[in-house]
Amino acid sequence: MNSNIPQKSKISFVEVTAAQVDQRLDNFLFKTLKSVPKSRIYRIIRKGEVRVNKKRCKPDYKLGIGDLIRVPPVRLGQNHDPKTYIPPSLIEAIEKAVLFENKYLLVIDKPAGLAVHSGSGISFGVIDIMRRIRPETEIELVHRLDRDTSGCLLLAKHRQSLLGMQSCLQDNSLKKNYLAVVRGRWPESKTEITHALKKLTLASGERRVHVDPAGQKALTRITQNTPGEEFSLLSVQLVTGRTHQIRVHCQAEGHELAGDSKYGDASFNQLMRKRGIKRLMLHASRLELPQTEFSPEIVVNANAPEVFQRLIEAHA
Give how far Cα 27 sits from Cα of 53, 139, 304, Å: 18, 13, 35
- In the three-class reduction of DSSP (H, G, I as helix; E, B as strand; rest coil), residue 133 is classed as helix
Rg (CA), the chain: 22
Give how far Cα 163 sits from Cα of 130, 143, 156, 168, 185, Å: 19, 11, 9, 9, 40
Q: Known catalytic residues?
A: 146
List Cβ neighbours of 92 (8 Å cut-off, separation of 6 or more). none
Type of residue at 130: M
Q: How many CA atoms lie within 13 A of 16 on its CB side?
A: 23
